Structure 1
Amino acid sequence: MTDQAAPEPIFVDLHDNSKPAEIESLCMKCHEMGTTRMLFTKIPHFKEIIIMAFECSHCGFRNNELQSAGAFNEKGQTVSCRVAGKEDLDRQLVKSDFASVKFEELDLEIPPSRRRGLLTTIEGLIGNAIEDLAAGQPVRQHTDSDVYNKIEAIIQQLTAYQEGKQDFTLTIDDASGNSYVENKCLPAQDPKLNIRWYARTPEQNEFLGLSSEQQQQPEASAAATGDDETPEVLSFPANCSHCNAPSETNMHVMDIPHFKEVVIMATSCQQCGYKSNEVKAGGPISEQGKRITLKITDSEDLSRDILKSETCGLSIPEIDLELTPGTLGGRFTTVEGLLRQVHDELQERVPFMQGDSTTDESRRRWNEFLEKLSEVADGKRIPVTLILNDPLSNSYLQNLYAPDDDPEMTIESYDRDWETNEALGLNDIKLENYQQQEGEDRQPHQDEQESKKRRVD
């Protein structure tokens, strides 16, 4: 047996998208050598993809598939599209390897393993489904007529969809978050599209190859070194929410004196320059809400550290400022910094104040309000009262006299009502007696409602 030189590796520059790259590859039908063409391209308002097409000149066999050129998204995605007419059938569509497709009215679902990634249109996707279903019909017609008739009815329904004779709803469920349906109304939201992001289950992570062992590796490394202290900063890979380029998220667990532990997360993208930060409160859920009232009497109060959680509302009665919970998300900054962030958000995200339909009086009042807010942040309009109302007690305002009481600050604890707990999802949390019936679980709410009814009567 003679030694043979190993074949030299083939290197393909996929980023040179001036023309497709060609690679000689084996045809799986006739076992002769065919040609695979690969093109690296970017879909507008989506991401970069790799399109691969195989053609065999010997037997005429053709095949094509699509692969995402980027990393998995942090969450899975469900995209639903209401298809009504030829225009919707022409929507460009990307289905990744891990996506399932469902025709809602037919209750017909195509699992992820049925076809590899595709770049097509909704009409083309329906054609693929018809082709797959029709492949075994001649055999079924002679072996199982009942199944044949049922599948034939589905094929006829899909044909009506493909010809635009009947409206339907198409749903793509992709655990990798890399599927896409064209938005016909860009840059506005398409009313026929419904996009929902969700946290992946452990089974979905395993399906994507994201094993729990890899996620637990940092914990195992810390345990091996015998270091029980909280690391200074933890970094883990992520994707930029703006350009989807690989980036890093830094996380730090911080203990605020006289308060509790909080988790500070910051993401910075080196590709597009986007930066974001978020603060999450650690520890258990407080049994009571908290209302913090600060009388700002001098500029020193503006330098107090403040943690406003995502469930906290903020108000300054003197200038008619009131922010509902969820505005700005979680922030850890100073009082001055928070007020300036509020000013910038209101100035940038209220575009209707700049339109032609806005009256001069409304625009004048709005500008006066922003001017008052700027004066408070600059320390030119004091005294004013700052009120933080957090039903989960996860917000904090620095006490300059700690551990003694602050004469300018009042902290009140209060019991949350049932409606607040319901909005926060706390009524569905059950930590004890898991086997009780659902009716027993809702008894406290029923007693409260009956008590309210008696008071009204």
Structure 2
Amino acid sequence: MSFQKVGDIASKVDANADDEDLGVQQIESLCMNCGKNGMTRLLLTSIPYFREIIVMSFHCDHCGFQNSEVQSAGEIQVKGTKFVLRVEEEKDLERQIIKADSGAVKIVELDLEIPAYRGQFTDVQGLLMTVVDDLSAGQEERKEASPEVHGKVQEIIDRLKAMSAGKELPFTVVLDDPAGNSWIEFVPGDAQHKWSKTEYFRTPEQNEKLGLAPTADEESESSAPVENSGIHVNSVGDTDNPEDEVATFPATCPSCLRRCDTHMKLTDIPHFKQVTIMSTNCEYCGYKSNEVKTGGAIPDKGRKITLHVTDPEDLSRSLLKSETCRLQVPEIDLDLTPGTLGGRFTTVEGILVEVRDELDNKVLKESSDAINETAKEKWDRFFKKVQDAIDGKIKFTIILDDPLAASYIQNIYAPDPDPEMTVEDYERSYEQNDELGLNDMVV
């Protein structure tokens, strides 16, 4: 059975279409409500801008019990994902959401957290009403057993209904999935505060819950002493120059938790500072990563670098974007939150290509006729502007805002000032220091 696009399936739906025509599989299965047999229907489909999923529904003709859920048909991702959506207007309630069975949802304003349970393919409004239905299920019993608890739960239900009707705005939805298989729809042009996606490495506890913890044999193998383990230094040039040495040291793969090697090399960026290039490759699960990290003391001020790209030659300027850097290109509505893409040492053109490829591979992995024309037009316009910037057809401004002043754009006029680039040092806000953990440091 192959995965069909939602749009292709919808085009087949008519009054005479049956389950077989739509690619639906039927399986007789046990009803957990009455103990008799009901019917489970499975539909394998692909969701635009996301990946393949399995939509399941169950119905029992004997007792009338029914249920539906969605499960990811793909593999567990290398990293977990956390989506944050700020719902500010009624049309935001129509944003599509895929909540895998490993994803937990939090409504920040209500301090309400819905733990991971069955998967859903819905929208923001549908998600809220599902929570309302779940909370309402035992209200009559609560009213008799504990009137005080009943009142508090009813207050939450009323607020959720107001939110779903667009009467209580704005509010914030957080979707956290350690498996990386959940998703909230992104609309091109969203402001930074409105939608964000963060990827993170799972903790050992999260890996264990997902069934990814190493077996006893693997754990024994991983923890066993390795002959000549430690840091190995390989020279690739002048043995007296530390920058010509590549250090290799044992590490633990963040994906499968087995032993792997991490390679590290120091390199000097002219008119900036020394940075460390690190790469990890796990031979067991295939995990790969490349990062660039800056060293030295934490500076007293943050730094904002603004480059006006007025000539195609500016695209070849070297660029270092640290993990704490926010990258903006206002002319093409591009705004990357800190942490996106990790640390990168590339060129102006290279960072735009990486953004384009990242969106193409992860956000726009599938296309479908099910996507409304407005969204299609927005994505088409966005990608056209990105490609025009890559090809040097338009002038644009690239802004690197780094509270740790660890990012850099090459000054081709160095040591003289660059007429197309401005560098501004600024005092970090309390919130920025708090995010960086600097407020907790005792000097």
5 Å matches for 1:59-70? 59-70=63-74
- TM-score of the pair, normalised by structure 1: 0.53
- State the partner residue of 1:89: 93
Q: 1:311–1:326: 8 Å Cα contact kept in structure 2?
A: no
Counterpart secondary structure, 2:109:
coil
- Structure 1 residue 65: Cα displacement: 1.1
Query: Structure 2: which amino acid aligns with 1:148?
Result: H
Residue 177 (structure 1) aligned with residue 180 (structure 2): yes
- In 2: Cα distance, 1:208 partner to 1:347 partner: 34
- State the partner residue of 1:217: 218
Structure 1: 5+ residue stretches without partners: 1-12, 231-252, 265-277, 283-288, 294-306, 314-318, 329-340, 359-372, 374-383, 386-418, 430-437, 443-457
- In 1: Cα distance, 2:56 partner to 2:42 partner: 4
- Structure 1 residue 63: Cα displacement: 0.6
Q: 1:94–1:179: 8 Å Cα contact kept in structure 2?
A: yes
- State the partner residue of 2:227: 228
- Structure 1 residue 256: Cα displacement: 2.7
Q: 1:100–1:172: 8 Å Cα contact kept in structure 2?
A: yes
- State the partner residue of 2:62: 58
* RMSD of equivalent CA atoms: 4.6
Query: Structure 2: which amino acid aligns with 1:323?
Result: S
5 Å matches for 1:20-39? 20-39=24-43
- In 1: Cα distance, 2:234 partner to 2:263 partner: 12
Q: 2:100–2:177: 8 Å Cα contact kept in structure 1?
A: yes
Structure 2: 5+ residue stretches without partners: 6-21, 250-260, 271-275, 279-291, 296-312, 324-345, 355-385, 397-411, 416-427
The equivalent position to 1:208 in structure 2, one of 207, 210, 217, is: 210
Larger Rg: 1
- Structure 1 residue 30: Cα displacement: 2.1
Shift in CA distance, 26/261, structure 1 to aligned 2, threshold 3 Å? same
CA deviation profile, 1:41-66 (whole Å, cap 9, x unmatched): 11111111111101112222111111
Shift in CA distance, 325/312, structure 1 to aligned 2, threshold 3 Å? farther
Shift in CA distance, 35/219, structure 1 to aligned 2, threshold 3 Å? same
CA deviation profile, 1:210-233 (whole Å, cap 9, x unmatched): 11447x82871795xx97267xxx
Residue 345 (structure 1) aligned with residue 337 (structure 2): no
- In 2: Cα distance, 1:191 partner to 1:71 partner: 30
Matched residues, number: 290
- In 1: Cα distance, 2:121 partner to 2:4 partner: 20
Greater RCO, CA 8 A, separation 6+? 2
5 Å matches for 1:347-426? 351-352=388-389, 354-355=392-393
- TM-score of the pair, normalised by structure 2: 0.54
- State the partner residue of 1:323: 318
Q: After alignment, is 190-199 or 157-166 more displaced?
A: 190-199
Query: Structure 2: which amino acid aligns with 1:25?
Result: S
* Identical counterparts, % of pairs: 34
- In 1: Cα distance, 2:352 partner to 2:31 partner: 61
CA deviation profile, 1:271-320 (whole Å, cap 9, x unmatched): xxxxxxx98417xxxxxx98588xxxxxxxxxxxxx9662479xxxxx99
- In 1: Cα distance, 2:347 partner to 2:185 partner: 34
Counterpart secondary structure, 1:105:
helix
The equivalent position to 2:78 in structure 1, one of 69, 74, 78, is: 74
- Structure 1 residue 99: Cα displacement: 1.2
The equivalent position to 1:104 in structure 2, one of 103, 108, 127, is: 108
Query: Structure 2: which amino acid aligns with 1:228?
Result: E
Query: Structure 1: which amino acid aligns with 2:218?
Result: Q
The equivalent position to 2:131 in structure 1, one of 112, 129, 132, is: 129
- Structure 1 residue 348: Cα displacement: 5.7
- Structure 1 residue 194: Cα displacement: 1.4
